[in-house]
Amino acid sequence: MGTAVMDMIETYPADLGGVDRQKLARCIEECMACMQACTACADSCLSESKVSELVTCIRTGMDCADICATTAAVLSRHTGYDANITRSQLQACATACRSCADECERHASMYEHCRACAEMCRRCQRACEELLRSLG
């Protein structure tokens, strides 16, 4: 049984060219999961007693969440595909995920939500980089 993302990719009526459907589906799924993790982590940071020390973490997480959501949307659209936009968006997402993971790791020993978010960001970063490499 496939995932909802893969099910939708499989129903696309036109040819996707040389895009690896498995890597595409994984990247979309990781972007959506990372968006949720970053949003939840930023919200959790706002609830911490030392919130003033987490301003950069909150901002980085919110930026990463927005970039991941946009990346998932761009990757879900295939009609009129522009490889340059896709590559640029994947690069931006990998960069945002790396920055967010680096920032969250600074707080991971004190805050479990930051540890979990950093892990999710690294997964998304890898998925973006793998899809980017497969696009040539």
Residue 41, class by beta-carbon neighbours within 10 Å (0-12 exposed, 13-18 middle, 19+ buried)?
buried
**Splitting the chain (136 residues) into consecutive groups of 10 residues, what average pLDDT does each group show?**
82 82 95 98 96 96 98 91 91 98 97 98 98 89
This prediction has a pTM of 0.94
d(CA 56, CA 54): 6
Domains belonging to the chain, first-starting first, are: 20-135 (1.20.1270.360)
**What is the model's pLDDT at position 1?**
46
